[in-house]
């Protein structure tokens, strides 16, 4: 488990975007919103999934993507973290890999500009929503296979991305590994967002007894996709501390670690796991009753 942090309170800022097909413009927009959040006193700032490029066409996506070793956008973001002296969490960038696919990768950047943690999205958004919207993320992206808990001055941060939200076992594993905060940068579709976004985020916060930070994409993008927006900061008790609308912008909230400690003390469910078997096909045998 991560040692108990010394600092208890900080301000979290979430950047909501409507990223398009022009990487340079997306980076400029992100940097301006990051500066806005920093001016509002945010110590930790998170951007949404696919911050630098919203692109569904595989050929255009692959032609635009860069490897991490000389990624131009990443250099701008590390400099922004230094300039504002913040913990900057870039929700995700498509990073070109050697094998002809990308990683959907998030970066946690320290105030000195070093990359403190990386996380590759584990669960791929391969769905048919039944209204003509079909997504096959795995055709372009290689899924990750490592969950990441990263240290912050106020406690540990569990990293996830978008579709990971639908897999509660991941979030519980992060919390039981020491996470006090869980990041969910996302680009939820309008259809799934209207139906499930608030409910899933509240459930993950309550189940993991963690603060949840979910910076989102919102609006109609150049490629025709429409995302839901409504970036959220949620307490371990399931309270919405800050919420955006559907347009680009910034939300902030003050995060009280003592409140988290109180929730975990009152309902210590993270320590109450019990082993069990699953029986199918008939009644329980007498020795299991």
Question: Can you tell me the distance from the alpha carbon of 227 to that of 285, in angstroms, rounded to the nearest whole number?
Answer: 50
C-alpha angle 203/145/170, rounded to 5°? 15
Q: What is the DSSP string of 103-152?
A: EEEEEEE-TTS-EEEEEE--S--EEE-SSS-EEEGGGTBPPP---EEEEE
Residues 6+ apart with CB under 8 A from 102: 61, 62, 65, 94, 95, 96, 140, 141, 142
Q: What ranges in the chain are assigned the alpha helix state H?
A: 23-39, 58-64, 72-84, 168-176, 190-192, 198-208, 257-266
Question: Is residue 254 helix, strand or coil?
Answer: strand
Backbone angles phi, psi at 151, to 5 degrees: -80, 135
What do you get for the CA distance between the two ends of the chain, in Å? 36
Please identify which of the residues 18, 96, 121, 202 carries the catalytic annotation.
121
Please identify which of the residues 49, 55, 137, 202 carries the catalytic annotation.
49
49 is catalytic: yes
Question: Can you tell me the distance from the alpha carbon of 130 to that of 6, in angstroms, rounded to the nearest whole number?
Answer: 49
Please identify which of the residues 55, 96, 137, 162 carries the catalytic annotation.
162
121 is catalytic: yes
DSSP code for 222: T
Question: Is residue 42 helix, strand or coil?
Answer: coil
Active site residues: 49, 121, 162
């Amino acid at each position: 488990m991560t040692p108990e942090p010394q600092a208890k309170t900080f301000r979290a800022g979430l950047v909501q975007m409507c990223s398009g097909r022009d990487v340079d413009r997306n980076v400029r927009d992100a940097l301006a919103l990051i500066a806005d959040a920093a001016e509002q006193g945010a110590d930790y700032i998170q951007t949404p999934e696919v911050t630098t490029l919203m692109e569904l066409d595989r050929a255009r996506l692959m032609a635009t993507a860069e490897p991490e070793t000389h990624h131009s956008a990443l250099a701008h973001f590390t400099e922004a973290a230094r300039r504002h002296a913040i913990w900057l969490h870039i929700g995700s960038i498509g990073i070109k890999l050697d094998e002809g696919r990308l990683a959907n990768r998030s970066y946690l950047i320290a105030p000195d500009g070093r990359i403190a943690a990386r996380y590759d999205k584990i669960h791929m958004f391969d769905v048919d929503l039944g209204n003509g919207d079909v997504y096959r993320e795995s055709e372009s992206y290689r899924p990750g296979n490592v969950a990441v808990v990263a240290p912050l001055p106020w406690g540990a941060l569990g990293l996830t991305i978008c579709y990971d939200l639908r897999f509660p076992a991941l979030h519980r594993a992060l919390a039981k590994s020491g996470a006090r905060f869980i990041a969910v940068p996302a680009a939820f579709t309008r259809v799934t967002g209207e139906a499930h976004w608030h409910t899933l985020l509240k459930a993950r916060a309550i189940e993991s007894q963690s603060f949840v930070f979910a910076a989102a994409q919102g609006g109609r993008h150049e490629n025709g996709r429409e995302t839901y927006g409504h970036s959220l900061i949620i307490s371990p008790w399931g309270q919405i501390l800050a919420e955006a609308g559907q347009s680009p912008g910034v939300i902030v909230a003050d995060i009280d670690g003592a409140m988290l400690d109180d929730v975990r003390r009152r309902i210590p469910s993270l320590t109450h796991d019990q082993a069990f078997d699953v029986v199918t096909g008939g009644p329980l045998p007498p020795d299991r009753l």
